[in-house]
Structure 1
């Protein structure tokens, strides 16, 4: 009988240990939820709003300058079929006053585009990587031609390889 009483006592003590662990885990989760809720409410409701308004006032929409359409034949090996590239391009500038500074240089910009694109092969333009490289190179060349003005990006409005 003493063995029965000892077994029952061990069973009750063993059953109490998982309950206390469960309570500890629940308490830890509750502390985490309260801290996360407090942090979230601070960032959503109590953070100073003055910085956002100040940033919004400085942001101006970009301005675009159209470049005349460019049509060039692509470079290829002798005996290969001649391929053509037709491109409509827009230049992105930060301010509207830059448009008037760029327009007198537009013949130089078109010349730079044609000279560079005539050396390209159709394989150079495959995929998005080829177009990205072309955009970056054209942007670099335009910025060199129209200094001290700067172009933010060269954008393709139409791009046809035939």
Structure 2
């Protein structure tokens, strides 16, 4: 029995050694998995708290990107008074007196519009001289006139964008 007991204790010894080696391996495996997880968690915490982007020099770029551009402010420009004779054929002469304000989308384009005033006056006068008094009657006539003048103003004042023409005075005589 003593031989059998020795054999049994020898058989138990290697399994105990294997279990000790296995628990050491499991401990190493846990440490190898835990270290990257802890580092990733710390990096994520630093990133989302804003510390890491600041350390990497990325904070200034984000602040510049988040800064809103200055608001675009529309502007009004007073056109000089225009007096033209209308196209009446053989009838008695008829005249149109027009004072208007031009609205542009961005006030920074005001110098472009001021530089285009001679061209605007020419285009407006040429168009208005071909109108007949009947074409200016009623709100539909005024609306058509506004749309035509806006189209011509956008051509003449480019790159400024004309959004509307406001009639201050329109007298047909």
1:74 alignment counterpart: 86
- Mapping 1:121-160, distance limit 5 Å: 121-160=132-171
Q: List structure 1 runs of 4+ shifted beyond 4 angstroms.
A: 58-61
2:31 alignment counterpart: none
Could you tell me the TM-score, scaled by structure 2's length? Answer: 0.57
Offset of 1:71 from its aligned partner?
Answer: 0.1
2:49 alignment counterpart: none
Q: CA RMSD in A?
A: 1.7
2:113 alignment counterpart: 102
- Mapping 1:29-68, distance limit 5 Å: 62-68=74-80
Secondary structure of the 2:162 match is coil
Could you tell me the TM-score, scaled by structure 1's length? Answer: 0.61
Distance 2:119 2:166 in 1: 18
Structure 1 residue runs of 5 or longer lacking an equivalent are 1-57
Distance change (3 Å), C-alpha of 1:137 and 1:99: same
Q: How many residue pairs align between the two structures?
A: 105
Structure 2 residue runs of 5 or longer lacking an equivalent are 1-69
